[in-house]
Every structure is written in C-alpha cells, then in structure tokens.
Amino acid sequence: MFHKEGSKIITIALGLFTIGLLTANRFIEKGWLFYLIVGVLVLLLALILQFFRNPSRIAPNDPGVIVSPVDGKVVVIEEVFEKEYFKDTRLQVSIFMSPLNVHVTRYPGAGQVTFSKYHPGKYLVAWHPKASEENERTTVVVKTKEFGEVMHRQIAGALAKRIVNYAEEGAEVTQGSESGFIKFGSRVDIYLPVGTKIAVGLNQKVKGASSIIATL
C-alpha cells in the first residue's frame, strides 16, 4: 500500500522506468551494459516505492500511553524550554528518520487539535541542534485526556523539501491516525509534560503508531 502523497512521483517514476527499459531493450545489446542499466532502473524504482509505502498500523488506542508518531531512531531525550506554544519546560523526545523509513506522521495521542501552524525555514541537517527552531517545520498540539496537551513537530532535513500537515485546529483525532507526511529524511520532536515516564531509550528504533514512547 502506497501513500497518496507519492501518487504523482510514483506515476512519473513508473513512466520513466518503462521508457528507460524500452529504450535499453531497443538500442543496447543484451550484455553487461544492458543488465547494468536495467539493474539501476529497478533499484531507483524500488527506492521510490519503498519511500512512499504506507503499511497498516493498529494503535493501542490507550489514553494512558503516547505512541511514536513516526518510524525511526530516538536521538534525543531531554528537558528543554519550549518557547513557541507552551513557553515552559517540557520533556522532548526526538526521532530521526532516514530516507529508508516510513515517512507517514501519526498522532501520538487521541484528543482535540488545539494548535496547528506551518513555519517556513532552512534545511539544516535534521540532527542539527538548531533544526527544531530554524528549519521548515509544522507544530501540532493535541489536548489528550490523560497527558494534557501534547505537541509533535515535523522538521524538514537537508533532503526534505516538503512537509505535509493534515492537522486542523478544533478537529477530534484518534491515536495513530495520519497527521501528515514528510518527503525524504527528517525528524519529529514530541513535547511531553515534565515527569512523564519515558518508555524508550536513546538509539532505540521505533515504529509509528505501534511503539510506546511514554506512559503515565
């Protein structure tokens, strides 16, 4: 199953793959060069298809847990001062996504969207300390039943040139449902109340909507 955000790119890729294959078959003799070209075409198509894959995920739908919004690796767990919305100290968990990860962004908890904003910006590497403040990004806050307001922030990286955000203020959302999509490598930060029990460790790999990030 592929994500709707990739429909145009996948269609173009399939067209170019077909043209390349037909051209190689017509003008190049069957030999090492022909099979090298075919191999490269297959590899490029496979990379595009895997990037836009959208596997089915079943969230726990448990108000007592916060799930990972994306697939990737936990790179930051620390207390920080969040100055855009909360303007106080929060517990930040950051997840880095490589181009090989699923890039669908999902709601970490169920509730009502109280804030949703897009920020244009730079394209520093996603793990840069200033990326969460200076890169292109979207900020979404959901008021959950047990954790109060929980923020997740999509952050563009050096390769990510487009962030898609589906969150609309006032909307009721379910845990694990789609919040957005980031094209190519990037990062998502989660901001939780100080004192929340974190259920993951640094460098741990997580899956969107499935891995539990925090508990009460």
Does residue 20 lie in a domain region? Answer: yes
Helix (H, G, I), strand (E, B) or coil at 70: coil
Q: What is the pLDDT of residues 121-164, one digit of tens each?
A: 776 666 666 667 777 889 999 999 999 999 999 988 766 567 88
Does residue 162 lie in a domain region? Answer: yes
Across the chain, the runs of DSSP E, i.e. the strands, are: 65-67, 72-82, 88-97, 104-106, 111-119, 137-144, 148-156, 162-165, 172-173, 178-183, 186-192, 197-198, 205-206, 212-215
- Split at pLDDT 50, 70, 90, the class of 168 is very high
Q: Is 132 a catalytic residue?
A: no
Residues of the chain with pLDDT > 90, as a percent, come to 64
Does residue 46 lie in a domain region? Answer: yes
What domain count does the chain have?
A: 2
Does residue 56 lie in a domain region? Answer: no
Q: What is the pLDDT of residues 26-70, one digit of tens each?
A: 888 888 999 999 999 999 998 888 878 888 888 999 999 999 999
Catalytic residue (one of 94, 116, 179, 186): 186
Tell me, what CATH number does 139's domain have? 2.70.70.10
